[in-house]
Chain A
Amino acid sequence: MATSPVSAIRTERLTAAYGDLRAVYEVSLELAPNRVHALIGPSGCGKSTFLRTLNRLHEETPGAWVEGRVLILGEDVYAPGVSPMPLRRRVGMVFQKPTPFPFMSIAQNVAAGLVAEKGLSKADVADRVEESLRRAALWDEVKDRLDADARGLSGGQQQRLCIARTIAPRPTIVLLDEPTASLDPQGTQRIEELVFELKREFTIIIVTHNMQQAARVADTTSFFYMGAMVEHGETSQIFTAPVDSRTKDYVTGRFG
């Protein structure tokens, strides 16, 4: 049963909660492939929780549950019997704080996501590592020390390493949860440039509390407020001509 091939992700009345606390309430959203989509909103509005339902990370918290449908490339990922692990190889995620795996080299870190892929020779893995590091704009800086411990890199480099690690398994969709929040302005800029490049290969969903960042990198923007998705549209429209008054208050800095 195929749905519109135009959307990479589609949610239908998605509700996500922890126990009695509903963090996301009946969100229906459609996101096109090979675009950058930003999710913005004040703290606690549910944008991160929503993001985490897309790769089924949400349910790893005890007591968490969802209602509704999430369709990734037409498939309902919450259908009974669907395992989250293959899904997570198709939908990658980068977190706010860089998380290189300790006691593993740079190359081992990048290859970490490839362990489950069958039929890869050592040469294939090495190629994939190089390809991912190039795509993450890190190759030139680390090519001579691929065996060094990953924690020797700077914050910005570590985050690009995490991006390389995430894209090495060649996912279709990449989720970014406030990826530049712990970086300095140079690091932030490099990541934003990277995002622009990456959308050629991947669909990118980025959660950010920095509106200027959303305006810079995103094609579409969705504004979340108190668990509901209030407004969604082209980024330029959201920021210059928001329809909902709450959106307008937020983007003009009235609150949040």
Chain B
Amino acid sequence: MNPRRRLSGGGRGDTVFKALLFLAASTIPALLIALVIELTRGARQAIDRFGAGFIFGSGWDPVAGTFGAWPAVFGTLLTSALALLLAVPLALGVAIYLTEFAPMRIRRPVATMIELLAAIPSVVYGLWGIFVMIPFLRTWVYPVLEARLGFLPFFAGPVYGPSVLSASLILTVMIIPFIMSVSREVLLAVPPGQREAALALGATRWEAVSTVIVPYAKSGILGAVILGLGRALGETMAVTMLIGNRHEIAASLFAPGYSMAAVIANEFADAAGGPLHESALIYLALILFGVTVIVNGAARLMIWRVARRGGAT
């Protein structure tokens, strides 16, 4: 009588094959580890010199050797937050409309067009931003805002074309397709029974969406939004081209500013301040990397949770 045994299927060729595939798969976690190690190593000089105070210091002077990241950090957070504020209602509106209300015929074409938006390279957004969007806003929109709302510090003059507001607006356009497509997937995963039950109980189409479907998909949508945030935080080229590139914080949105990615993009190839300058830039990259990993990790967990729940019904 043979006892219970774990059985293996393979021959020698299989072990080699599995080993090769394993090796290939291991490059991915290895890449993450490499990023952590090399970024930390490169930033070591700046970390030793400035410590955690780097994040909150102002004053970025490559010549003098003082590096404070706060304007760049603040600029990153501000532009991303503004972009999110504007993009989320639009992206959600489109996602809900496409999954719930749009006539069947236009769903695929519109979804494809939004995907096309996602395929446009960042640098092309930047180009369009400089030569089309900013002149337009500078002529028709900003003066109006300054005139009407100039009493608020956020809209006080002087009004610049390349500014925090301009960068935030282009960022909005760029993250809408992203938030929209992930939200759409989440909404499509909601069991149709939910909607039918709500409608059967007499809810209007809007009520069915707002009181049943969206709450059901709540954490998935939140995950999509956070993924959008992650995208906005790391966006480089378009922001560099529109934000004005000034290591300063002003109260007004019309003033130029900076973002972490933009600083690196502008200064890294030619770090005039020598090894310390380079190290400070890598320190910035390390912070940027850490923030996006945390944000993306959290978002993935949330989306994964909804996927599990939706499938279990």
Contacts and interface: CB of A to CB of B under 8 A. Distances in A.
Q: Do A and B bind each other?
A: yes
Interface of A: 13, 56, 59-60, 65-69, 76, 78-80, 83-85
A67 B3 contact: yes
B9 A67 contact: no
Interface class of chain B by DSSP: loop
Contacts of B5: 65-66, 78, 80
Contacts, number: 33
B9 A60 contact: yes
Interface residues of B, number: 9
Interface string B7-27: 101010000000000000000
Contacts of B11: 83, 85
Contacts of B7: 56, 59, 65-66, 78, 84
Contacts of A68: 1-2
A78 B7 CA distance: 9
B4 interface: yes
A80 B1 CA distance: 12
5 shortest interchain CB distances as A-B pairs: A59-B7, A67-B4, A65-B4, A84-B9, A78-B2
Nearest to B7: A59
Contacts of A56: 7, 9
B6 interface: yes
Contacts of A84: 7, 9
A56 B5 CA distance: 13
B58 to A, nearest CB: 57
B94 to A, nearest CB: 37
A69 B4 contact: no
B9 A59 contact: yes
Contacts of B3: 67
A244 to B, nearest CB: 26
Contacts of A65: 4-7
B9 A69 contact: no
B53 to A, nearest CB: 52
B6 A69 contact: no
